Chains A and B, each alone.
Chain A
């Protein structure tokens, strides 16, 4: 997972506040994925983005959650009006373009969100 940078690593928010999680993909990677992992559970897909495009957001909750990957700068996962159930580890992963089935996907070290 070297090269995929996530920050902050740990974030504490009170209920009702906003959480912003940032992800810079590996150099040369143009695809970003966000996953959520609740305690003792598996990785759940949230959203898949290319630069300036959302490719698949089928795993995103309908409300309060949004994601972007602007032309310049990191990808951002934004959670508005956080609730305790949003407490989880949020992982970002990146890969090169889709052209080759052998392209690997690498994960960042994660951002742990705690809602108090």
Chain B
């Protein structure tokens, strides 16, 4: 069964350092999402891509966060500089775009970030 791949699984960094997370969606899935999940809360959308284009980045802190999906396949989420409050689980999800909003989003295992 196809899965969303994410790396690394865990990342420890010091504040003010740069970190990057990678996501490879299920093959053929045109829509890709990055979510942030703070401990004890539900995931919240950071950015949504349709192929290589950003559809929604209204909740992305653009002063320090950036995301790209250059060839419309895999994606990278970057934080520079990292702050203590960025400690969270970063989840990537993908879905096909055939039926739009009806489609199920499939999640990767996540990257657990700890900022010291």
Tell me whether A and B are bound partners: no
**Chain A residues in the interface with B (C-beta under 8 A):** none
